[in-house]
Structure 1
Amino acid sequence: MLLYFLIIVPVLILSFLVFSYWQERRYRRKPFYRLSDVGWQRHSPATEAQLLHSVALLGDVGAVATDGSDPVLKLVSQWQEEVQDKGCMIFLGDNLYPIGLPEPGNRHRDAAEIRLNTLLHSIKSYPGKGIFLSGNHDWLKGREGGYKQMQRQECYVQEHLPQPDCYLPPKGCPGPYSLQLTEGLLLVVINTQWFVQRGFKPIGSQYGCPYGNIEEFFVRLNKLLKRNTHQRILIAGHHPLYSNAMHGGKFTIKQHLFPLTALHRRFLVPLPVFGSLYPFYRKLFGAYEDMSHRKYKKMRKRLLRILHRYNNLIYVGGHDHNLQHFEVQGNHYLVSGSGSKLAFVKKGGKATFTLEERGFFILNYYSNGQVWIECRTVTADAPEKGRLVFRKQV
């Protein structure tokens, strides 16, 4: 009996792992749609409606190619030609991998400066507006000294991009910072990295922040949303509030069996059972940038408690390197983090749409008051044209 048990149990576990891996391989790089959104192609904005404003939501672009061949930047150029000066590009943080913009002399400085110049050029050649947010990598991956690292990037952007409100929130403050994009459409920017940063983070008038107590942030955010219930509100931050990907505690079977691939993709050392300890730790307790970490969890809980009071909101973040849409209590939550990197995203759950592909979301605001979100991804055969993979009225 013991012999049968020792044979049958491992066989069952192995069979389950193989079946799960086969399922993952089937839907990876394929779009997932909630059943009610399967026929999204049949719906589109009214032909008589005029586009008033369009917002390209570009997350985690910190590893784009700088030689003019980057497919996402080519896709952005096509969007720019379509909307002309009626658009706004929002970079959702992690603008420079691996550690933001270091001081001159650092071995990463030259490459970071070239990449940042590439992003700035994509805005300078465009008659619309460009806005940068900061993410954990821009804050030295959340470590001590991240504040100065972020300040260095902010000053560089402001120096080379002569536009007002080009780096938000200013001076590394938590926010919320509001900007009227067009009549009826308000942008609210939150510095989500402030809440999870391990090192020093600014607050108080001595650092240019309008208040000295973080509780005032939540009071101001609630008042801002309450005053603007008559219009559409787009809230932008680096960290998502819903996610079916790694920072939301979702891992592949491969990551359970080969946990060392988290350090490098070539470290294919099989560690069954023991390998699951790392994913379970990330899911239950979390690293500093995971939803399950106490700081992230506290921030997310406080924000959602406020956002759930309203139903005219769209929240967008990056952080996870994929494309996701969630519809929760009348509000819409986007993850638009595949500007330069890709990572696994799990289908189903609360998500209405998920896809592991390079691209970005677009928010279109029309003269008839309708707001539509679009998701465009790059294609190998025609990278400058891209492919529309999801569209929905919100």
Structure 2
Amino acid sequence: MSVRSLAALRRTDANTADYRRVTMFLHFLSLWPHIFPVVMCCPRSVMHRNLQDRNGTSIRFLAVGDWGGLPHPPYSTPVQQATARGMGRAAQDMGADFVLALGDNFYFTGVDSVEDPRFQETFERVFTARSLHVPWYVIAGNHDHHGDVRAQIAYSRVSERWHFPELYYELKFGVPGGPGPTLTVLMVDTVLLCGSSDDFADGGPRGPADAAGAGRQLRWLRRRMEASRADFLLVAGHYPVWSVAEHGPTRCLLEELRPLLVKHRATAYLSGHDHNLQYLEESGVGYVVSGAGNFVENSTRHWAHVPPGALRFFSGQSSPLGGFAHVEVTQERMVITFIQARGSSLYRASLPPRGVNLFAAP
């Protein structure tokens, strides 16, 4: 509507109601650019996925962290290349409906923009197996936060398999075979929660840069865990809760996250950050460390800093050239298999639904 038409409405008493409607509409349009970002910035609470594997009986996925290549040619490491090949074989032979990417997606300073060539050089051209062209659900690590994390989120609109809707979000899956058990995965940003870390110093988070943002995420996580009725409840983040390796346990997560995992009987917590494979059990919760996607470290300097008897498995030898975890969820249990890049199964743990009190023996 033109300014002249609007003035005509003002001069005509009979059109007062029309004038008010038009001005309210124009006012709304002026506010829309301010409203829209608020709507878009909120974390996605629920993402429903219906999966049907070849047997129609389970959900299967891979979990890999610290897989982010190099910032200079050839933009990948031998460990990353071997891990990518091993993941492709495992996805083909054992099945994989999706991949959980547990942070440090691009070493050493993340990406600069959604057009950053690292998306091609370190991701698309490395994980090329057809079996890996499934959804990749992504969270950020400390090295990703050194760059533009929002660019990684924006890449979700470019790649069909890259899914990173917000810094933290929830995934829900129904186990194939009927209306029975469900799987919920809460993808959290441990850097937002605990702060960044310097791997070349002590490696420990130094406290959140945004205390208000950390508080919002923690409240969101608490609400989602309290509300969850899933038979299998997983939380996935970059920093480990428990670890015997170079970085060791994360104090912030021991204080803020571990009590929630125990209180709400989470099935397991999955993480990376330490560049090896570990499995621990403590207070009824399984702890998976899968951080051998790009580098491998054999350090066990924090062996005495985890509860006695909690560590069930550790692998940090460089000769297998990395590794990852394969997870299968059925009506009866969740089975975690640690696999070295060359294909050998290293260790297997079996976890029951949340309604069962005792863990089955691995």
TM range, normalised to the smaller chain?
A: 0.5 to 0.7
1-structure distance, mates of 2:131, 2:158: 13
Aligned to 2:325: 361
1-structure distance, mates of 2:217, 2:128: 34
CA RMSD of aligned residues (A): 3.1
2-structure distance, mates of 1:114, 1:72: 16
**Structure 2 residue 326 is the aligned partner of structure 1 residue 388:** no
Residue 138 of structure 1: SS of its match in structure 2? helix
Structure showing greater Rg: 2
- Give the 3 Å change call, closer, same or farther, for CA 355–191 of structure 1 in structure 2: same
- Give the 3 Å change call, closer, same or farther, for CA 244–218 of structure 1 in structure 2: same
Question: Deviations along 1:109-155, whole A, 9 cap, x unmatched?
Answer: 65664113335645x76453211211111111xxxxx4xx2122332
Check whether the contact 2:140–2:238 (CA below 8 A) recurs between aligned residues. Answer: yes
Aligned to 1:373: 336
Aligned to 1:115: 122
Alignment of 1:59-138 (within 5 A): 59-63=65-69, 65=76, 70-84=81-95, 87-102=97-112, 110=117, 113-118=120-125, 121=128, 126=132, 128-138=134-144
> Alpha-carbon deviation of 1:59?
0.8
- Give the 3 Å change call, closer, same or farther, for CA 51–362 of structure 1 in structure 2: farther
The one-letter code of the counterpart of 1:114 is: E
Instruction: Return the TM-score normalized by structure 1.
Output: 0.60
2-structure distance, mates of 1:73, 1:390: 19
Aligned to 1:16: none
- Number of paired residues? 266
Aligned to 1:181: 173
The one-letter code of the counterpart of 1:152 is: A
Check whether the contact 1:101–1:113 (CA below 8 A) recurs between aligned residues. Answer: no
Check whether the contact 2:61–2:100 (CA below 8 A) recurs between aligned residues. Answer: yes
The one-letter code of the counterpart of 1:354 is: F
Instruction: Between the two structures, name the one with larger relative contact order (CA 8 Å, sep ≥ 6).
Output: 1
Check whether the contact 2:80–2:293 (CA below 8 A) recurs between aligned residues. Answer: no
Question: Deviations along 1:197-256, whole A, 9 cap, x unmatched?
Answer: 3799679xxxxxxxx6643433332232222244101211111000001111xxxxxxxx
Check whether the contact 2:247–2:274 (CA below 8 A) recurs between aligned residues. Answer: yes
Check whether the contact 1:186–1:233 (CA below 8 A) recurs between aligned residues. Answer: yes
2-structure distance, mates of 1:194, 1:77: 31
Residue 104 of structure 2: SS of its match in structure 1? coil
**Aligned equivalent of 2:281, options 327, 337, 352:** 327
Aligned to 1:231: 231
1-structure distance, mates of 2:89, 2:131: 13
What are the ranges of 5 or more consecutive residues in structure 2 without an aligned counterpart?
A: 1-54, 70-74, 176-181, 197-205, 352-362
The one-letter code of the counterpart of 1:118 is: R
Aligned to 2:222: 222
The one-letter code of the counterpart of 1:363 is: V
2-structure distance, mates of 1:342, 1:68: 8
Aligned to 1:255: none
What are the ranges of 5 or more consecutive residues in structure 1 without an aligned counterpart?
A: 1-48, 141-145, 204-211, 249-290
Aligned to 2:293: 339
- Give the 3 Å change call, closer, same or farther, for CA 372–102 of structure 1 in structure 2: same
Instruction: Return the TM-score normalized by structure 2.
Output: 0.65
